[in-house]
Amino acid sequence: MVIAVKVTIADVAEKAGVSKTTVSRILNGNYDHNTPETIKTVLKVVKELEYRPNALAKGLKSMKTNVIGIVLSNFRNEFWFNVLEGVEDTCKDEGYNLMICNSDGDPKLEEQYIKEFQMRQVDGIVINPTVRNQPLYEKLVTDKYPMVVINRKIPGLHANNVVVDNIKGGYMAANHLLENGREHILAITYKNENISTWQERIKGYQEALISNGLTEDSFYLLEIENIRVANKQIKEYLLDNPMIDGVFSTNNMLTLELIEALKKLDKKVPSEVGIVGYDDTIWSKHIHPPLTTIKQPAYDIGKESAKLLIREIKSKELTTIKNIIFQPELVARESSKEIE
């Protein structure tokens, strides 16, 4: 049995009878000035000794780690896993590794994690911002720390941004319900004044109503305090507003609660209430009735975000800030079927 001993470049050099420099050069593909024999022996010794470069030492010299970090605000939503898969795939393709953490929506935690990433000399970060850390984000920008802000907009922040057109998404949802004969459409969203995602989806909803000739009097908006009270809030709202015949849910967790609430109240979908949800989750088409959703290209968002970040990391010159806006898509199913 071989006792595990860490083998360094010096061991390789010694055994191969050359200098560390030579080994380093060969390992890094600077073949140009080396004898074929030297190359061969060195490579052979590397194999024999199972030498693996120490990334720490390498990084210390070059101040590059080939690691990017991602700060998510939530591990409970399928959407983020698809994003993550995209990010991970890009990392694999580009030779990066991925550090991940979960701010859980807490700005303090977010700040701490970002600082840890920086201490670890992570080459750049992808972040779904809590939006409560404006000064921190600003600092990252002025420090020219490679960064991509994802899924949310931070007002006034001059940073790479990858988002989906949420106004459009909201518009499509509400418009679809109107087209299918609904007249009193409720929009359900999380209560959070600062998050562009929710604001925009609601804005789109409002625009759809207006462009269909309705007025502000026809806006029905329910803001959920948090997921735990969602069910209760929704039931109460629907009881107080029995005219509601269509619901646009801006979040897939809330959609599940909505369905639950409707079932409890014995309101039939779609005959009495039509539903459009957000995010075409894996279960959307399997629930009863199959759910009409606004689909977001989560995987591509992740993929492009990481690509954008790595592009910025690699480019020596100043890269211009880039703004990628993906388009949502309506997937029509039974839950929003036309009222006969």
Q: CB 56 → DNA: shortest distance, Å?
A: 7
Beta-bridge mates of residue 294 = 278, 330
CA distances from 18 to 7, 12, 29, 42, 47 (A): 16, 8, 16, 8, 16
Which is nearer to a copy of itself, 85 or 165 (by Cβ)? 85
Query: Given the DSSP bridges, would you call strands 97-102 and 67-72 parallel, antiparallel or unpaired?
Result: parallel
Q: Is 58 in the site for DNA (CB under 7 A)?
A: yes
Give the CA angle between residues 72, 75, 81 to the nearest 5°. 85
Tokens of 268: 């039939």
With CA atoms as reference, report the closest residue to 66 among 85, 89, 91: 91
| Residue 256 interface partner, choices a copy of itself, DNA, none, CB cut-off 5-8 Å depending on type | a copy of itself
SS3 call for 55: helix
Least Cβ distance, residue 206 to a copy of itself (angstroms): 28
State the Cα–Cα distance between residues 290 and 269, nearest whole angstrom.
Answer: 10
Six-digit token string for 102: 């979960």
Nearer to DNA by Cβ, of 38 and 336: the residue is 38
One DSSP character per residue, 212-251 reads: TT--GGG-EEEEES-HHHHHHHHHHHHHH-TT--EEEESS
Segment contacting DNA by CB under 7 A, of 54-62, 75-83, 145-153, 317-325: 54-62
Tell which one of 2, 29, 33, 47 touches DNA (CB under 7 A). Answer: 33
Which of the ranges 60-68, 103-111, 192-200, 241-249 carries the binding residues for DNA, by CB under 7 A?
60-68
Q: Which residues bind a copy of itself (CB under 8 A)?
A: 1-2, 4, 6, 52-57, 59-60, 63, 65, 67, 75-76, 78, 81-82, 84-85, 88, 91-92, 97-102, 109, 115-121, 142-145, 253, 256, 259-260, 281-283, 286-288
Q: How far is the CB of 234 from a copy of itself (least distance, A)?
A: 14
| Closer of 13 and 244 to DNA (Cβ) | 13
Residue reference for tokens 């190359």: 39
- Would you count residue 180 as binding DNA (CB under 7 A)? no
Question: Which one of a copy of itself, DNA, none interacts with residue 253, CB within 5 to 8 A by kind?
Answer: a copy of itself
Residue 17's binding partner out of DNA, a copy of itself, none, with CB under 5 to 8 Å set by partner kind: DNA
Based on the shown chain and the rule CB under 7 A, indicate whether residue 116 belongs to the binding site for DNA: no
Binder of DNA out of 40, 48, 57, 116 (CB under 7 A): 57
In terms of Cβ atoms closer than 10 Å to its own Cβ (0-12, 13-18, 19+), residue 10 is exposed
* Residue 41 C-beta: closest distance to DNA, Å: 9
